[in-house]
Amino acid sequence: MMAQSQSQAQQQQLLSHKDGSLFRQVVRHFENKQYKKGLKAAEQILRKNPNHADTQAMKALIIGNQGHSQEAFALAKTALNNNMRSHVCWHVYGLLYRSEKNFEESIKAYKFALRLEPESVPIQRDLAHLQIQMRDYEGYIASRKNMLQQKPGFRQNWTALAIANHLAGNYEAAENVLTTYEDTLKSKPSRADLEHWEAVLYKNKIIAESGDLDKALEHLDAVGNKVADVLAVLEMRADYLLRLGRKDEAEAAYAALLDRNPENSAYYEGYIKAKDLVDAPPAELKKVLDSLAAKYPKADLPRRKPLDFLSGDAFREAADAYLMRMLPKGIPSTFANIKHLYTDPSKRDIVQDLAEGYASSNASQANGTSESGDKKDQFQSSVLYFLAQHYNYKHSRDLDKAMFYAEKCIALDPKSVDFLAVKARTFKHQGDFAAAAEAMEAARALDEKDRAINTKAAKYHLRNDQNEKALETASKFTQNKTVGGPLGDLVDMQAISYLTEDGQSYLRQRKLGLALKRFHQILNVFDLWQDDQFDFHSFSLRKGMIRAYVDMLRWEDNLRAHPFFSRMAISACQAYIALYDNPDLVHGPIPALNGQTNHTDLSPAERKKALKKAKREQEKMEKAEAEKKAALKAAKPTPKADQEDGKKEDTDPFGKKLLETKDPLQDALKFLNPLLQFSPSLVDAQVVGFEIYSRRGKWLLATKSLLQLKALDPSHANIAKYSARIESALSANDVDARIKTIVQQELNKTLQ
């Protein structure tokens, strides 16, 4: 009886020839992201076969990609109930879990699908991609071995298995995989076979990383003349020779590289190491660099590099020669090239003395020649611009002098964007953000086609908390056609710097909803960058760009160590701390009453009045935004293409849902955990870490942040205050005795 019912169920899953063809169309429409067409075809099949599990699963996958995840999971479960033995249903179930970033459940579903259909290439591929995404190297090795056994003639499978072993640290196994494939080739690859020679260079990289540099060099010498990437071969060979101590050969190798590119600082460092001049007297090292400067008369590096190690009169002479080479030409980057020297006060003072000397004399006296009027004016303006930047810089700041020289620059050339920009920077450092924004806007107006100055102007408006003006400025370089207008464009373009400045501006204004909205948008961008790896797991193998792919994976492992993330995460934590300390901010910034900015000191009646005013302002802002959106819709209807791609209007543009969280400190951990994991050396990261952990009553973690803060900055102003807070908490009876003991021991040991 049971066998009969199973047979009937299987018959119900069979489609007619016409419906089978229609089902294949559903799959194609999904792969081409034509979701409406795919949904229409799936529903056409289900009208005739309402319980066809594979079609239900594909329909679930389509509506899941349209953003309806709950309905998608419900339909996928229905499909599984209709046919538990369908590998398609289990595969779709895994894809849905992957879209929700529940990778563990996704892997379980993929593995169950493989039990039903062990030779399914799409399922094996998706499982392998998920394993490398999660850095499950052992699982990835197993999956790639299975794929290789099924298709041993497919080169990508050999390469992928080598990558799996390489990333897992199995260097010998990775090398053997690539060697085995090379031995199977019946004819020698031509020089035009880029995929093969890229794999050969990757094999050489594996040998070098295993530590066998002699073998790596021998292999490189054997294959190097056949590889199309000549520069990579030259760089690898020079590096191997230097690390092996073969200095004469390394010197010749780096000399050849310098002939190709005399502006690469790494080549100079390698050349100097090869000549054993790292600890040589400065005069001897300068002699070598002077010979290189004579050999490469247009190169800047051999003339600038001596400034790093010379001192005293020798430095003055070299700095004078360098500045007198750059300033008469009016090169704007002159100051940027040498400002790193200012960490040494003596060098900073010498540069300042030289530049002041140029400014106090005319150009012909400065360089000992008679110059034409135009060249004299160019030299004079370059010197004044240099001094304006010099006195703006943090290690040599004198803002009165900076403004004096900026004004003199503008007097010489009132239409110079650079001169107005340095004046704006001076206002910013003086704390006058309104004047800074006005000056930078004037600079932008001089060249409206310059994206760089447009970006600067928008940034300065944000520093002045002119969010609407900043968006209007930035919109001059956006399409303004997507859902959400200019801001939607900036989010789509992943303009991290703008979104960060915008969020920090709203944080200063205590508009926490908008601040958190921006910070979460940036968090989503970083998540998207991490998810983008999925596209490259197959693309890089298909194109044969293996070394770049491995470098990308290693870069992704430290993605959140980037300053863009840490700066945003610290601000997001500060916003959540403010929301926790002052829940009334959920209604918007609380206006000051009777001169009191701290509304906790207000009487109940005054507090009620302040909250009412805040709510009224919030409603007014929301109404204005709604009217603006309605006007935008009327003027520019949303294109159908955007709707097809699943782009929807943001239903929470002011971040109200983020503000309505019941546990702000728990939400802050989304930012704090990766911040402390990847940027533990940042003082501000440890500060917000202590503030959040102490409020959550996690005294061990709070103590850890305090100890890290003490190690990073022993004189930090908050150390005594934080220590007192911990002592106060330990004196309470609600802290576990074991925690008290550990914390007290650490504090006594470290903070004494």
704-713 LR contacts (CB < 8 Å, sep 24+) = 705/676, 706/747, 706/751, 707/746, 707/750, 707/751, 708/680, 709/683, 710/750, 710/751, 712/681, 712/682, 712/683, 712/686, 713/683
Q: Are 443 and 458 in contact (CB under 8 A)?
A: no
The first and second tokens of residue 467, run together, are 């969010």
- Closest to 385 measured CA to CA, from 342, 450, 445, 336: 336
By residue count, the chain amounts to 752
Q: Which sign, positive or negative, has the C-alpha torsion 693, 695, 700, 706? A: positive
Look at residue 599 in the predicted model and tell me its pLDDT.
54
CATH topology for 2-184 is: 1.25.40
Residue carrying the six token digits 């794999």? 199
Look at residue 745 in the predicted model and tell me its pLDDT.
84
Look at residue 735 in the predicted model and tell me its pLDDT.
79
Identity of residue 391: Y
Q: Where are the alpha helices (DSSP H) in 300-367?
A: 301-304, 306-309, 312-326, 334-338, 345-360, 363-367
Rg (alpha carbons) of the chain, rounded to whole number: 32
The first and second tokens of residue 135, run together, are 């850095």
Q: How far apart are CA 329 and CA 340, in angstroms?
A: 21
Q: How far apart are CA 259 and CA 296, in angstroms?
A: 8
H or E element at residue 152: none
- Delimit the domains of the chain by residue range: 2-184
Q: Which residues pair with 596 in a beta bridge?
A: 593
Q: Which sign, positive or negative, has the C-alpha torsion 641, 645, 649, 653? A: negative
Q: How far apart are CA 574 and CA 135, in angstroms?
A: 32
Look at residue 256 in the predicted model and tell me its pLDDT.
96
pLDDT, block means (10 residues), the chain with 752 residues? 38 72 90 90 89 91 90 92 91 92 92 91 93 94 94 92 96 96 88 90 96 96 92 96 95 96 96 94 94 95 95 95 94 94 96 94 50 73 96 96 95 94 96 96 95 96 96 91 85 95 95 95 95 91 92 95 97 96 84 51 67 71 66 58 55 89 95 97 96 94 94 92 90 80 82 61
Look at residue 751 in the predicted model and tell me its pLDDT.
62
Look at residue 741 in the predicted model and tell me its pLDDT.
86
- For 235, what's the count of Cα atoms within 13 Å in the CB-facing half-sphere? 14
Q: How far apart are CA 250 and CA 275, in angstroms?
A: 9
Look at residue 551 in the predicted model and tell me its pLDDT.
95
